[in-house]
Amino acid sequence: MKSNNAFSWLTTVLLLGGCGPSPVPQPPAEEPPRLEEVRVTCAPTALVLGQSAQCSASARDQKGQPFTISSYSWTSSDSALAQVDASGKVVAHAPGSVSIRASATSGDSTRQGEASLSLSPRPPTVHSTSINASETWTLADSPHEVRGQLSVTDGATLSLQPGVVVLFAPDAELRVAQGALLAPGSSAQPISLLAPDSSAQGSWRGLVFASEGSASRLEHVSLRGCGQPSGEGACLSLRDKASPVLLDVSVDKSGSLGVSVADDGSSFGPDSARLSVSGSSGFALRLASNHADSLPPNSTFSGNGRDAVLLTGDVTRSLSWPNPGVPFVILQRIHVERPVDDEIATLTLTPGTTLRFGSEGELALGSGTYVADLIAEGTADAPILFTSDSASPQPGQWRGLHLGPYITPATRLVHTTVEYAGASGSPGGGTANLNLYGNSGFCGPCPVLQDVTLRKGSGLGLFLNENAKFDPSSARLTVRDNGGYALAMDPNEARTLPAQSTYSGNATEGVLLKGFVAESQTWPKLDAPYVIDTVLQLGAQYAPAPTLTLLPGTELRFNLNAEILIGPDVESPGILVAKGTAAQPIRFVANEPVPFSSHWRGIHIWWGEGSQFDHVLVSHAGANGRRATANINVYRNPAPSITNSHLDWGGACALMTSNKDSGNNQSVPMDYTLPEYNNSFANNGIDNQCSY
């Protein structure tokens, strides 16, 4: 055992003795510094509004050692409370707590640090007495506070420096009565007029301009929390012919109207632009119709109780209403008329404009004694709309559009829709969507109607009175889905009905006619019938005999006891030419879904020399009221030509001719039943032809 242990020991010694020296361990390679942390410090950390603080940033690496950064990016957690520039300078704007952050990037490492600042309102500079000498409210003294109702009077000018904040105590008001307010804010330093509680609505009365000829001007000014109903009922009010210039003015959280412009000559000043109204409990804007052209361009209206412009008062001058991007609302009658001889008030509507009307609302032009015109020229992509001011519109909810007798042919409606009208109460008496009155000698209204739609009225779609008519260039009139006839007009103006028009879906089908034809004319063939109510007379006293020509396929329907009188006396001759074809006969029929014999009184011809009936259908006439009671009744020579026609369901006979010379009658020997005339008869009461 001992010899073995010795041998092991010797072997170990020999092995160790044969090895070289062991290697010396090397330290690990040192890691390069990298961006690990950004630290931000600000001084001071508590600010009063309007004060500034300077913030600085520093960086550390992963070992906590300083790390060089070439530049930092500075941001504020709420720029409405405080803003920070590229150098780290902070300016406090509103009370609260805000974090100021600096971020840096090195390689693929980005880090951000922040510091908190507390922002306290500075004690306000209080204003509680009216201003009768010019003064300036400075940024250094901001915020300013108005208590009570202050007025700028005696020609004084109140100037607000850029960045000024003016707080208004509850029920406070600033009124520019005889003087001016100059508030030249900027996008970087806006001027704020607001309630101490930024979330309040309708806390203070508002800002009122009530000075004619004032130099008042506001730029980059915001009003918030005003519109207390105890004042003018709006955050911003213009009255007494005031016209301040408003550029980039915003109104928010009004307790009533956003902006009110009185109907007393007040308006937005020249060059006004970019008015913004939001959060009002009522209409965004109430504006005088006579100065709606002063509405600042590029304005926006959103989040209000009514995102709309309420128009009030009449129009007494020529002007254009712009498209404000929201509807105009009209709750009362607006009349357009310039009360000056030989001058015309022209109202022009911009493409895309929508006008909404309350139950007593209407737009009337030229209905007094002076001339006015309406130019409502939309486009296919931006049509003009006259409609009901109802969330659930129904027929008859407003009084309609009324173009009076003192309208000239310059009046134009193009790509325009009028709908849901028909309420009674208009001084003109019309209850249609569109009402035309034409007894002034100004060519009637003669309006141009192109691509106009009249729909969903409670009665007539269109009413033409006292020889009102259409301009010859009118075309593509659509009258549909109304509660009565498509339209009613004088027969003498039916020749002016616009080409390519459609009349469909109306509760009572057809174009209603009643009265005289005094001038020669051709009635266009419609896609609906002409409906004769009571009397259609061809011929007017002491006028040359007019010729009425009906085109193939035309249909005339007759209401109960209605009739056609052709040349009823020697001083009122007339001619009817009704020449259809076998494929397109002209129809004279009862206006009744299931007609009965003797529904209407028929066609009566006295001094009607030259009248012709060819390929016509006459049925269900012969009602009492004239001595003759047939479908066609001939009283004098020369008798009309009646050929290739069908007469049925006459009350007594299909035809009646006079058999004696007495009064206006002559003996008429014509026999229309002869084969050479190729007429046919059916279901007549006594005979095909009778005499009396």
Q: For residue 520, what are the contacts with CB-CB under 8 A and spacing of at least 6?
A: 546, 547, 548
Beta-carbon neighbour count of residue 323 at 10 Å?
Answer: 18
- The residue count for the chain: 692
* Preceding amide of 297 cis, omega within 30: no
Handedness of CA 393, 394, 396, 397 (dihedral sign): negative
pLDDT at 193: 98
Contact, 164 vs 136, CB < 8 A?
no
Please give the Cα distance from 692 to 690 (Å, whole number): 7
How far, rounded to the nearest angstrom, does the alpha carbon of residue 77 sit from its chain's CA centroid?
A: 42
As given in the structure block, the two tokens for residue 131 are: 């201003």
Tokens 């007393």 map to which residue?
A: 264
Please give the Cα distance from 493 to 512 (Å, whole number): 12
Whole-Å CA distances, 630 to 537, 623, 650, 658? 18, 8, 5, 12
Whole-Å CA distances, 665 to 544, 577, 600, 604? 21, 22, 22, 12
The DSSP bridge pattern shows strands 89-92 and 52-61 to be antiparallel
Please give the Cα distance from 461 to 400 (Å, whole number): 10
Phi first, then psi, for residue 250 (nearest 5°) are: -120, 145
Tokens 């300013």 map to which residue?
A: 144
Tokens 């504006």 map to which residue?
A: 287
Q: For residue 445, what are the contacts with CB-CB under 8 A and spacing of at least 6?
A: 366, 403, 404, 405, 407, 411, 436, 437, 438, 468, 469
Q: Cα dihedral angle (423, 426, 432, 438), rounded to 10 degrees?
A: 180
Tell me which residue of 569, 497, 574 sits closest to 536, measured CA to CA.
574
pLDDT at 4: 44
Please give the Cα distance from 654 to 556 (Å, whole number): 17
Q: For residue 35, what are the contacts with CB-CB under 8 A and spacing of at least 6?
A: 59, 61, 67, 69, 104, 105, 106, 107, 109, 110, 111
Please give the Cα distance from 143 to 165 (Å, whole number): 5
* Preceding amide of 447 cis, omega within 30: no
Q: For residue 219, what are the contacts with CB-CB under 8 A and spacing of at least 6?
A: 183, 184, 185, 186, 247, 248, 249
Q: For residue 556, what are the contacts with CB-CB under 8 A and spacing of at least 6?
A: 529, 530, 531, 532, 550, 564, 586, 587, 588, 589
pLDDT at 522: 98
Please give the Cα distance from 324 to 347 (Å, whole number): 16
Contact, 186 vs 159, CB < 8 A?
no
Please give the Cα distance from 505 to 189 (Å, whole number): 60
Q: Cα dihedral angle (259, 261, 267, 268), rounded to 10 degrees?
A: 0
pLDDT at 248: 98
pLDDT at 22: 64
As given in the structure block, the two tokens for residue 375 are: 């130019």
pLDDT at 446: 82
Rg (CA), the chain: 43
pLDDT at 442: 63
Beta-carbon neighbour count of residue 240 at 10 Å?
Answer: 17
Tell me which residue of 284, 233, 226, 238 sits closest to 258, measured CA to CA.
284
CA angle 303, 313, 471 (to 5 degrees): 100
Handedness of CA 334, 339, 341, 344 (dihedral sign): negative
Residue-range domain boundaries for the chain: 37-120, 124-313, 320-509, 513-691
Looking at 216-282, list the stretches that DSSP marks H as alpha helix, in order from N- to C-terminal side: none
Q: Which amino acid is at 405?
A: P
Please give the Cα distance from 74 to 112 (Å, whole number): 10
Q: Cα dihedral angle (627, 629, 631, 637), rounded to 10 degrees?
A: -30
The DSSP bridge pattern shows strands 384-388 and 362-365 to be unpaired
* pLDDT means over runs of 10, the chain (692 residues): 40 42 70 94 90 95 94 94 95 92 95 95 92 97 96 97 97 97 97 94 97 95 96 97 98 98 97 98 98 98 98 97 98 94 92 98 91 96 98 98 91 97 95 88 79 98 92 96 97 96 97 96 97 96 94 98 96 97 98 95 97 98 93 97 97 94 93 98 95 89
Candidate CATH numbers 2.60.40.1080, 3.40.50.300, 1.20.120.450, 2.130.10.10; the one for domain 37-120: 2.60.40.1080
Contact, 476 vs 453, CB < 8 A?
no
* Preceding amide of 669 cis, omega within 30: no
Q: HEC string of 415-450?
A: EEEEECECCCCCCCCCCCCEEEECCCCCCCCCCEEE
Contact, 225 vs 202, CB < 8 A?
yes
